[in-house]
Amino acid sequence: MADLEKRNPGEVEYLQAVREVLASIEVIYNQNPQFEKSGIIERLVEPDRILTFKIPWVDDQGNVQVNRGYRVQFNNALGPYKGGLRFHPSVNLSILKFLGFEQIFKNSLTTLPIGGGKGGADFQPKGKSNAEIMRFCQAYMMELWKIIGPETDVPAGDIGVGGREIGFLFGMYKKLTNNYSGVLTGKGLAWGGSLVRPEATGFGAVYFVQEMMATRKDTMQGKKVAVSGFGNVAWGAVKKLDQLGAKVITLSGPDGYVYDKEGISGNKIDYLLELRASNEDIIEPYARQFKSSTFTSGKRPWEVPCDIAMPCATQNELDQADAQNLVNNKCSCVCEVANMPCTPDAVETIQHNGLLYAPGKAANAGGVAVSGLEMTQNAMKLHWPAEEVDSRLHEIMRAIHASCVLYGKRPDGYIDYAKGANIAGFLKVANAMLDQGVI
Ligand code: NDP
Ligand code: 2IT
């Protein structure tokens, strides 16, 4: 870690992600001297390559704008680099390296042949017109196309990149290469997309919570669930929670949170899509639309009493004070649906108090798993029905849960899902790297 800190000064999120993984694989690592001998850790923490590039584009007023684009190709021991693209003003190399690093283990857990990568740009989608989003996506792809391909690197969505953006990116890739291929996932249904991909991250996380609850002979029925965010991932989670008879009572945006005492179901779930498509990125209009709800400005939803908490927005959005609130309010389960939404001291508080805790790399792997299934369908040039994709997703989430239990169960019976996920994800990648030599 000391060496890594020296070589990557100031990369707070990246160092946080690496520290968390290294701490939990220490014992396994020391039991396998061949890892040390082959420099597995030193090779694993260094991305295979990073591309940064200029993205010049013209806004609706005719002004020239310049953003910075990235693609981090982190590790391809298990398959082509795979991971989303994030368009958000906060994007920098530290954030993309943290996300790419997490993606290696997450993708390993899915049981599918995919390596880890991540990309994006410091672009602010908020307030942009459809035409501006299109021009920006096209300008981004004018550089990215050179290093991606269906057997090389397969990007997808993340914050700020959904179906619309994938469409514009795919269109430009096709034009530049004259090649119609499954080079991106999260595509539209008519042009190579998979059923259930939009819902997959949220659905998968809820399946994971179901498995965790079952270890305590409990179910989702009637549980009060606090959700944060209101994007693609939150939407999928709310939809599945509602189907399973749980009651979702909160959502949040960068402006604050809404509490809906009657629960978020039916047309309220559809309204989320409208809100997201508005490009305004505030949750407050929800409270004006639905009288059963109230809006609290500038706060996070973790002060609301709930049985289950599912952070679905962004990294480090649930800190120790929030975790203590959840504990005090008798919450029994915290499931990370966003990537690394809990700070390390929040995780400590949650686990120390015996709550069920799922790390993002296990619980949110359903998104990339169905991306992997989209690649399979593209390669076979056919479409599976929704039931088939959903049942494969369910199976994958059960398998990830089983891996976490296998490597994370403590002698006192408590399941350390973070440790289990890290060890299971790491072992597969490390052994593949050993097999493939020093490259
Ligand atoms: P979206 O862009 O659809 O939604 C993210 C939403 O969260 C945006 O509306 C964003 O608003 C909001 N947000 C950002 N920061 C905060 C904050 N501090 N508090 C409340 N809301 C905030 O992205 P996704 O739903 O796709 O992604 C959500 C999370 O899930 C991310 O951590 C992502 O990495 C993770 N994830 C996504 C997967 C996918 O397939 N899409 C798969 C697995 C994980 P604003 O832009 O204004 O800040
Ligand atoms: O964080 C993630 O796993 C994603 N944003 C989805 C990546 C993918 O390739 O579907």
Q: What is the CATH number of the domain that holds 319?
A: 3.40.50.720
Quick one: pLDDT at residue 279? Answer: 77
Counting the structural domains of the chain, the total is 2
pTM above 0.85, yes or no: yes
- Would you call 217 a catalytic residue per the annotation? no
Is 169 in the same domain as 264? Answer: no
Quick one: pLDDT at residue 255? Answer: 95
- Contact (Cβ atoms closer than 8 angstroms) between residue 246 and residue 220: yes
Q: Which of 134, 166, 188 is the last residue of a domain?
A: 188
Is 315 in the same domain as 175? Answer: no
Is 311 in the same domain as 217? Answer: yes
CATH number, domain of 100, equals: 3.40.50.10860
Residue 405 falls inside a structural domain = no
Say if ligand 1 is within 6 A of residue 339 CB: yes
Is 102 in the same domain as 248? Answer: no
Ligand 2 center to residue 107 CA distance, Å? 9
Residue 155: half-sphere exposure toward Cβ, Cα within 13 Å: 31
* Blockwise average pLDDT, block size 10, the chain, 439 residues: 95 97 95 96 97 98 98 98 98 98 98 98 95 98 98 97 97 97 97 97 98 97 97 96 98 97 96 87 94 97 98 96 98 97 98 98 98 98 97 98 98 97 98 97
Quick one: pLDDT at residue 281? Answer: 83
Say if ligand 2 is within 6 A of residue 83 CB: yes
Q: Which of 154, 188, 222 is the last residue of a domain?
A: 188
Using N-to-C axis directions, what is the helix angle for 386-408 and 365-380, rounded to 10°? 130
Is 55 in the same domain as 181? Answer: yes
Quick one: pLDDT at residue 277? Answer: 83
Quick one: pLDDT at residue 410? Answer: 96
Is 183 in the same domain as 208? Answer: no
Is 180 in the same domain as 212? Answer: no
Tokens (6 digits) for 286: 């929800």
Ligand 2 center to residue 83 CA distance, Å? 5
Ligand 1 center to residue 53 CA distance, Å? 24
Say if ligand 2 is within 6 A of residue 185 CB: yes
Is 55 in the same domain as 129? Answer: yes
Q: Which of 82, 97, 118, 268 is flagged as catalytic?
A: 118
Tokens (6 digits) for 320: 């120790």
Ligand 2 center to residue 153 CA distance, Å? 13
Quick one: pLDDT at residue 280? Answer: 79
Q: Cα separation of 200 and 203, whole Å?
A: 5
Tell me which residue range forms the domain holding 179.
Answer: 46-188
Is 155 in the same domain as 226? Answer: no
At 237, the amino acid letter reads A
Is 87 in the same domain as 169? Answer: yes
Say if ligand 1 is within 6 A of residue 159 CB: yes
Q: Which of 188, 223, 258 is the last residue of a domain?
A: 188
Residue 314 falls inside a structural domain = yes
Is 133 in the same domain as 241? Answer: no
Residue 377 falls inside a structural domain = no
Is 158 in the same domain as 274? Answer: no
